[in-house]
Structure 1
Amino acid sequence: MDTPERRNYFRDLFEVGTDRSAPLEQKIERAITLGRDRLGVDYGVLSYTGAGEYEIVDSTIESGAYEAGTIHELGETWCRHVVSDREMLVVADAANSPYRDDVAREATGLQCYIGAAVLVDGEVYGTLCYSGEDPLEREFTEDDERFVQLLTQWISYEIEREQHYRALDAQNERLTEFAGVLAHDLRNPLTGARGYTELVEESVSDPEASHLQTVLESLDRMEQLITDTLSLAREGADVGEREPVSLAAVAERAWNTVQPDTAVLAVESDRTIRADASRLRQLFENLFRNVMEHCPPGTRVTVEGTDTGFAVSDDGPGLPPAIADSLFGGSFGSNRRGLGLLVVERVVSGHGWDGTVETDEDGTRFEFTGVGMVTEPPSASIQ
């Protein structure tokens, strides 16, 4: 039956689940207490049983045998039924139920019980259960069962998400460490190769000197690939502190860094936007470098502000369809878009912007929307 009290419990549960300020442990503690009060029993317990034992993760019992952190024999608990059957167990009065002779009745002293399995990635993590030392004076209702199921599903989701975040953080740390070691190990022989190549180039004439210049250009490209890889590994999708920056100033600085002497830059309209200037410069550099490497001499590159952001376009031959279709939501690895465009994607997503690309034989246009505009003067320092 729908009552104001019942609605309040569901409202409180909703507020717990949507509270982004509280850590997971605190939210679970509040949810367990809420369930205990809703059901009118003595105890609420969240357990972990993945190691074959009954470990109390959180509990409304503040001291004693079943307080948080204690470990017990799983085979002597009511929860063993839930773990083995993966189904809810409901016992309002153990003495007058099919479980009157169950070992858990004597071992735990609990005479009423309702519990469900907490599933994480499809496997039983443990249980969420509510119990009391005296029989319940009423039967558990369907609403009670649905309430416990809802609590259990929410806790399952929160634990699963937390584990995924921790695994991702650990993976990112390993990738960052690996990228640093790899870059160091690659740059050492790269420096040696560059030095010896330059030394030999000074003592020979064409056509050998021309061939050695090609080698140096390839070494430059390797250096850039190492830099881009480190940027992705260390910075990922996160941006630093945002500040007002001039779109034109950042674009021109990036153009001078890349120096695509076969193309020309036209900044048709400026905007002052809120961005991480360094990461924004990375975006421009990689787009300009893409033009330098894949477009013919005389290509015109245009940067322009729009009502919701900015756009970068060129009148080159266009991107291959497979690469264009993979950008801003596609799967990296199924095409050969390269690190440069992947860096562009990461800068865009890190700012919370949206990116689109339109391309054909007449050129390519990258447009970035959802960009924060400002009216205050841009920062004087663009690194």
Structure 2
Amino acid sequence: MKSQPTVLFVRSASQDGAAVSFLRANGHAVHEFDGVRDLARALDDHETDCVVTNCEVGKPDGTRYLGGLTVIERVRRDHPELPVVLFAEVTNRDIAREAYSRDVFGYVPEAVGDAHQRLLEQVDAAVASSPPRQRATKRKQLNEAVRLVNQALVRSQSRMDIERDVTAVLAGTSRYSEACTVICQHDAAAVRALGSQRDGVTISRPEPLRRAESAGRLVTADLDPAAVPDGEDTLEADCVRVLAVPLVYNGTSYGVLAVYADRVGTFDTEEQDTFREVGHNIALAIDASQTKDALQQRTTELERQKERLRELAQIISHELRNPLQAAMGRVELLATDHATAEFDAVQRSHTRMSFLIDDLMEIAREGGRQYTVEPVSLSDVLAEAWATVDARGSTLDVDCTETVLADSSRLRQLAENFFRVATEYGDAAIAVTDTADGFALEHDGPALEAGSDGPFELYYAATDEGAGLQLAVIREIAHGHGWEVSLTDEETDRVRLNVTGVERPSVDGA
């Protein structure tokens, strides 16, 4: 621990020796240097508590006019935690105003009688304020770094964008000298994104990064720039500390964020806690971007599949409908002269084929249909649907009093498809009833054969003469309304289609 406060004194052309001697006589270690050019070197050479500058000191261009203001700007930029006291040769309110606008700690005009005592008091106050000032500066820098990282996470669209933007904003802060993301493979660390614009950078000592990735925890390590091999452009060349942050979300590792600093006191416990949260947010953003990409790819694939299905349906309709209509016409002509059961069977088969073609086209079109929803009487729609079906001795019992919100034409088509399935073998007893959140359609015919993916998936089985197509149409119409459908036939020996999630018109004044 230092035994006395350390002050850097920037000399001017005037005589500052008395002020320096007075500070030393009162227990301060004072290091003198000339001008702005030597400021960075002096700060590196000494663990400084306060900077004192005269007003007329050498600037980088060789002039001295108001060079003290330049000193204040440089210290504020590179070491904002250090207090600066301006010891001016003359009393000038304009100079004082300019100094305070640059966040100078204190202003002492040299011309006043007790100037040295005032300077000592200002320096002592500055030194006393240094620890809390450093903590406040560090917190401000951390908050700014987190803000910039969060902004980068919001605007980035892909994993590469996230890693590139995050490392760039961290490397561009005043607190850190470099940042990168890496994937550790065996004894090497492969750089994925680099904060600076350098190319071909290597990590000559990847051990802290490898430990962070394998153990899934933060790792800090001291670096020795002198140990970097000559001629190699490595990240560690000008850095003395590194913080390795594992990027892990939901058990998945996305590599390591490495943050480098050129100051020994960087990455204390508070800073590590901050970066632990930053690492979690980065991993979460990467996971979300990859999930979004996967969903987008899946959506694109589904759209292509739908388009192929539409094209297939159009081909089927075009290639089958015309010859089917011709065959139906010929059968009708022959049936007028030969009224036999065989011709009736052929006509039924033709009608069935026509329905199947219509069903395929309906499935292909449903995805792009617009539904016009309005209050409709369920019993009225069911009656209209039943009138279009060849009952073949089947009966329909409707016990529905509800009005529902639906597209009447689509709802009628849903009922028609169920009725066709139910009456396929004739003599079926069909019932439709209201339920708490929709309605149910039942028949006492044979159980339907389900496809490998369930009864509502698109399939065609010889034993049900296309029920899979009609049920697929039913499902598409229900989903177009936002309804759900389920099929049961185990408990009552009746095939029951449940339609749920059906909305009813609201009653005025309710």
Question: So what's the TM-score if we normalise by structure 1?
Answer: 0.62
* 2:257 maps to which of 129, 135, 143: 129
Instruction: Indicate whether 1:311 and 2:440 are aligned.
Output: yes
Task: Give structure 2 stretches of 5+ with no counterpart.
Answer: 1-138, 185-189
Query: Once the two structures are superposed, what CA deviation does each residue of 1:204-252 show, in whole Å capped at 9, x if it has no partner?
Result: 34357446424522431431342243146x35xx974644333223333
How is 1:52-91 mapped onto 2 (pairs within 5 angstroms)?
54=192, 65=197, 88=216, 90-91=218-219
Task: Give structure 1 stretches of 5+ with no counterpart.
Answer: 17-21, 67-71, 378-383
Residues 246 and 272 in structure 1, CA contact (< 8 A), matched pair in contact too: yes
Query: Once the two structures are superposed, what CA deviation does each residue of 1:48-74 show, in whole Å capped at 9, x if it has no partner?
Result: 99xx98368xxxx8xx739xxxxx668
Instruction: Indicate whether 1:169 and 2:308 are aligned.
Output: no
Instruction: Indicate whether 1:220 and 2:354 are aligned.
Output: yes
Q: 1:157, CA displacement in angstroms?
A: 3.6
How is 1:174-323 mapped onto 2 (pairs within 5 angstroms)?
174-204=304-334, 205-206=337-338, 207=340, 209-210=343-344, 212-231=346-365, 234-235=367-368, 240=371, 242-293=373-424, 295-297=425-427, 299-319=428-448
Q: 1:174, CA displacement in angstroms?
A: 0.8
2:441 partner amino acid: V
Q: What is the DSSP-based 3-state SS (H/G/I as helix, E as strand, rest coil) of the residue aligned with 1:296?
A: coil
Larger relative contact order (C-alpha < 8 A, sep ≥ 6)?
1
Separation of aligned partners in 1, 2:236 and 2:476: 59
Aligned-residue Cα RMSD (Å) equals 5.2
Q: 1:366, CA displacement in angstroms?
A: 2.3
2:277 partner amino acid: F
2:330 partner amino acid: V
Residues 262 and 296 in structure 1, CA contact (< 8 A), matched pair in contact too: yes
Query: Once the two structures are superposed, what CA deviation does each residue of 1:287-336 show, in whole Å capped at 9, x if it has no partner?
Result: 2222122x532x2322222232222122334445x6799458xx887998
Larger Rg: 2
Query: Once the two structures are superposed, what CA deviation does each residue of 1:235-284 show, in whole Å capped at 9, x if it has no partner?
Result: 5xx97464433322333333334444442333212222234445434432
User: Identity over the aligned pairs, expressed in percent?
Assistant: 21
Q: Which residue of 1 aligns with 2:469?
A: 339
Q: Which residue of 1 aligns with 2:101?
A: none
1:300 partner amino acid: A
1:150 partner amino acid: H
Q: What is the DSSP-based 3-state SS (H/G/I as helix, E as strand, rest coil) of the residue aligned with 1:305?
A: strand
Query: Once the two structures are superposed, what CA deviation does each residue of 1:121-167 show, in whole Å capped at 9, x if it has no partner?
Result: 97x7x657363544562346785575356335533442233123212
Instruction: Indicate whether 1:365 and 2:500 are aligned.
Output: no
Q: Which residue of 1 aligns with 2:119?
A: none
- The 1:128/1:359 distance shift into structure 2, 3 A limit, reads same
Question: So what's the TM-score if we normalise by structure 2?
Answer: 0.49
Q: 1:45, CA displacement in angstroms?
A: 7.7
Separation of aligned partners in 1, 2:454 and 2:481: 20
Separation of aligned partners in 2, 1:272 and 1:47: 63
- The 1:156/1:277 distance shift into structure 2, 3 A limit, reads farther
Instruction: Indicate whether 1:159 and 2:289 are aligned.
Output: yes
Q: Which residue of 1 aligns with 2:50?
A: none
2:360 partner amino acid: I
Residues 359 and 365 in structure 1, CA contact (< 8 A), matched pair in contact too: yes
Q: What is the DSSP-based 3-state SS (H/G/I as helix, E as strand, rest coil) of the residue aligned with 1:270?
A: coil
Separation of aligned partners in 1, 2:483 and 2:205: 51
Separation of aligned partners in 2, 1:147 and 1:230: 49
- The 1:248/1:375 distance shift into structure 2, 3 A limit, reads farther
Q: What is the DSSP-based 3-state SS (H/G/I as helix, E as strand, rest coil) of the residue aligned with 1:304?
A: strand
Between 216-225 and 139-148, report the one with greater CA deviation. 139-148
Separation of aligned partners in 2, 1:100 and 1:91: 20
Residues 228 and 234 in structure 2, CA contact (< 8 A), matched pair in contact too: no
Separation of aligned partners in 2, 1:108 and 1:291: 82
Between 207-216 and 303-312, report the one with greater CA deviation. 207-216
2:300 partner amino acid: A
Separation of aligned partners in 1, 2:156 and 2:412: 38
Residues 94 and 105 in structure 1, CA contact (< 8 A), matched pair in contact too: no
Separation of aligned partners in 1, 2:316 and 2:405: 36
